[in-house]
Structure 1
């Protein structure tokens, strides 16, 4: 029952109960005291005082009646005086009977007729009857003039005993009131003890309920402060303020336990994602390093290609010079043809080497293109992992996007280089074909010098084309060098971005580890 009462009502009840008991006891004591006062008034005044007064007055009247009777017996009285004395005697006798009758009525109403005199053990009824008998006998004899003093004395003795009885009754009533007061005191003590007992039991029950609720609240708060969230709390709570606080603490602890569980899962997921991002970043970094090395190799090949192109251009100039000399000096044509044939052979070899170098550059460009595609895929995977990491992977998502853009730029540059290389290969093939044709012509020059003379112009034209192609190849080689340098720069930027991503992923992993360590102090 106390479980569903509010703390305010419990404390109010703890104060109201003793006040209510105090009021009830005070009202009862006031009523009891009024009853005792009324009884004491009745016994002391209506019974003792009034009856005693009636008896004393009756005794006085008997004394006066006796004097009047004795005065009547005196022969010296005149007729008027004698008549007055008889009247006084008759009045006194009447007053005696009236007063004794009233005293009888009062004692009858208060149930005193059966009470006995302490010494003579004669009841009030017997004393009244004896008085009535002897006083009636005395009054009758007095009227007849033959009064007997023995009847008078017996009647007066009865009145005296009644007076003594009334005095003793007054003393008894005083003693009874004293006893009642003592009983009342004991009753008050008992009531106070009962009130104290009721207050103690009620207060102990209320304090025990409050202490139990406070102990539970302290225990739950201490468990939460120590990180112990295993206890789910009480199944039922009191309906007072402390019960509401206890229920709120249990709800808070349960919510904190669910939150810590979710944080643990999220921290483990972030740790796993950070590890995956770090691994992906390492792969991206290795790819960038490989791409940079490939770009360096391509740069070296292009350098050699440029040197070959310059050599071809130089040889073309020499061939042009020889052709001009051939036109001027037909006699020395044979020697010039032999020298030109040797130069053509060397030029053919150089062109073949240039074709091989172009093919090798094409292969390298293919490798670089594959690396760019792999880098783009790795950047896409990194962006996906960053999205899975949520807000904590946002920085890494930006870095992954930059890596992806760099990979796209690398792919575009690689495609441009591939187009340039294809152009170079086409030009080289054309040069090889021209050199083959020129070589055949020089081989036929020994048999038909005239044919050589006619073909000198053609050779000059072919040589000029070769020189022009060589210049074009040199320009294209410079463009290839720029593209390769761009690829190298992009690779360096990608490597730096990968390092930054790795650093961010390591920081993310460290933060996730710290979060996991802090959360694991809670026992759920």
Structure 2
């Protein structure tokens, strides 16, 4: 154990001794006297220990400190000088002194010091007889005297250290009985304290039972009041949990625990209100940023939608305009066909009347041959005119069929545009769903576009059906016109035959009568065919009018769609 460690331990023991003395002062007189007797002994021990430390410090804690270091330095100086002068006798005497020095250090006996002094006297005598310069002898003598002085100081200090250590042992032996006495008194006092503590614990048990009974009575007396206040506070805290910060806290201002709890809840109310306000501010900023982002996305989508749907609307508008023009052309052709068919019917009626007149005048043919020839010429001319009008009606019917086919192509184009519009409306609905609440109006317009597309598709289907009816009626009208043309051509041939055979009319009057009856029958068929053509032309006109109305409706709906889209895009851009 080092000196510093031992000194620290001694200081702690002195502090403990002070505390022990303070506690012993509260004990009976005999115990206090026993404890007080320790203090002087411990103080004496501390004094002797300080002397031991001081002596050891003077002696040196290692071979280079204190008198140990000085003695070692002096010995080395003498030995170094002797090694230079080459005097064996002096070296032997020096070695003998070193042996006596070691014996004295190890055994601590004074005789070794006396022997070292005797050898030193011999060293001085031998040095005086040595053949060395006077100056060299003086230096060796001075070094030897320094060695002797350091040895004497070392020996005296070592003896003092030994005496102090012996005293320290004796003092420590005196401490043990007093310490044992104090420990015995402390054990007895501890036993008495344990007995006293048992009695106190028993009393505490009864006191706790009594306090529990009193606490139960107190809780019965004041529990309702406290429970009511706590229930009100709990209800107020629930309202605070529901973010209702205008609640009035019960118990504020009371100078008790309930008042402290109410103040704590009020502090929580203030902190919660501040936190909620901060969260609302952050949410408003976040919502504003999200709204700006959604607004930019909606503006971008609106631009893309306008670019895509605008082209479709323009195409629908152009197609509806073209369909309207074709419908007007079809209506005009149907009107002309009806007029031509009416003219054909009128001509057929005239031809039939003429043939009837020829038939009734057969009996007068002989005497009115010239008149018959003239009438036959007129009938031939009328037949030729009927042929020309029939050919013209045929051409009109062919044009009507071509127009119907063109209208069918336009209707197919409108159907394709309607399907594309449906796809665009579906894409717009999906984008509106992604946009959330801001895309709700966009979704409404997309639904309107989809509804218009469905109406357009329905109208296209109706137009297709009507065009098919027109084409069928036109085909039948063309067939009837061709048949009427054949009949009229035959009438014309018959009339020419009458003209050529007028010279033989008398001999073949019966045959002429028969042929006239046949011609009357054919002209009646021509009139019926012309009536059918008129009926078909009227049906064609009705269908063309329906196509025209559908085209006009499609044009109006296209314009409305364009206006609605423009208004929606303006609302989106303004939002």
Report 1 or 2 for greater relative contact order, CA contacts < 8 Å, sequence distance ≥ 6: 1
TM-score, normalisation: structure 1? 0.50
TM-score, normalisation: structure 2? 0.45
